[in-house]
Amino acid sequence: MSSDTANEEAECLGWAARDPSGLVSPYIFNRRAVGSEDVSITITHCGICYADVVWTRNKLGDSNYPLVPGHEIVGVVKAVGSGVVGRFKVGDHVGVGAYVNSCRDCDYCNEGLENHCQNGAVYTFNHLDADGSITKGGYSTFIVVHQRYCFKIPDSYPLASAAPLLCAGITVYAPMIRHKMNQPGKSLGVIGLGGLGHMAVKFGKAFGLNVTVFSTSISKKKEALTLLGADKFVLSSDQQQMKALAKSYDFIIDTASGDHPFDPYMSLLKTAGALVLVGFPSEVKMSPASLVLGARTVSGSTVGGTRETQEMLDFCAEKRIHPNIEVIPIQFANEALERLIKKDVKYRFVIDIENSLK
């Protein structure tokens, strides 16, 4: 189906927050007409990310209500514009991640790093798009997106499992590739075992790394070792365990968003080792000696560009890497958001849009 058959706005059913209480409920709005470079996607599933909590509750003071959250979107192509040739066709399984537009002209966009667009990437929800509209996310029945920001999901890969890859998965995969954390036999430490941390463990094992999970909760030990296949579990509050591991890790991925000390983890890195922060603590404090004396590096990262996102999806299909998910109907969304705040999920909620939003 080309854009000629879909040249008008179309009504979309979604769930939206109306105020900082963050409660979501049914909401009808219009999606834009399918342009020549657009793909219209019937949404089958949408993952729930902590970003949904942040913006439904106006935690950053910039929420535009009514707000339709969701940026871990997967579904089936239902229409394509006349300029979408070869890449996507009706019936394809596709995904949409945390951004849906960028300038497409800066150095970063030209390198396939649209998430770092010099003129600002347009986020999938609660963001001003080029046409002046406010973007609305995946808690909805369909979405219209420029083909550049759509990703092909291999037919063999379950759609529900693909949803968390579009944010949680790529957020840890991108820095792992950038910092060459895919060298078999190297050692990786993973701080925190939530949606991001459990994916870091899975990627680490797929890359052939020796993986250690660091957590403040001893209750995570069994799941880290047995369920996720980590090689070692360390209770980070146990100073004796931590000191015994000094200078033993090539890489550490820090997925923890709660405030925590950094020096104890920096001391675990080998000379020239790297710690990558993908969580959002309120501050990062460490002694200069933690960096200088071991020639160590601290880096940050968030999601990934279009090229590496597609690469990750293909890698997950090839290696059969699947997030651990809890599939819910959209009517359970408010309870799921509350449980996410309490860290009561293993390890990602995914909304079954196809069967519950009608």
Q: Which helix (H) or strand (E) holds 276?
A: strand 269-277
Binned at pLDDT 50, 70 and 90, residue 5 comes out as very low
* pLDDT confidence of residue 346: 85
pLDDT tens per residue across span 166-193: 999 999 999 999 999 999 999 999 999 9
**Dihedral in degrees, nearest 10, Cα atoms 110, 79, 93, 198:** 60
Q: Is residue 317 part of a domain?
A: no
CATH number at residue 57: 3.90.180.10
The DSSP output letter for 2 is -
Q: What is the 3-state secondary structure (H, E, C) of 55-89?
A: HHCCCCCCCCCCECCCCCEEEEEEEECCCCCCCCC
> Can you tell me which residue has the tokens 């770092």?
116
**Dihedral in degrees, nearest 10, Cα atoms 246, 294, 169, 38:** 180
The total number of structural domains that make up the chain: 2
Range in 82-86, 90-94, 153-157, 203-207 the model is least confident about: 82-86
- pLDDT exceeds 50 at position 243: yes
Same domain, 268 and 197: yes
Q: Locate 63 and state its tokens.
A: 């929420």
Distance CA 203, CA 187 (A): 13
pTM of the model: 0.92
Binned at pLDDT 50, 70 and 90, residue 7 comes out as low
Same domain, 174 and 285: yes
Q: Is residue 1 part of a domain?
A: no
- pLDDT exceeds 50 at position 83: yes
Mean of the pLDDT values across residues 138-147? Answer: 97
* pLDDT confidence of residue 6: 54
Which domain range does residue 158 map to?
10-167+324-352
Mean of the pLDDT values across residues 118-135? Answer: 93
Binned at pLDDT 50, 70 and 90, residue 344 comes out as confident
Mean pLDDT, the chain, whole residue set:
94
* pLDDT confidence of residue 345: 87
Same domain, 120 and 191: no
Same domain, 18 and 163: yes
Beta bridge partners of 73: 46, 96
pLDDT tens per residue across span 202-239: 999 999 999 999 998 899 999 999 999 999 999 999 99
* pLDDT confidence of residue 336: 97
* pLDDT confidence of residue 3: 41
Q: CA distances (Å), 347 to each of 25, 158, 200, 302, 355, in order?
A: 24, 17, 12, 19, 22
Same domain, 341 and 270: no
Beta bridge partners of 151: 95
CATH number at residue 197: 3.40.50.720
Same domain, 163 and 173: no
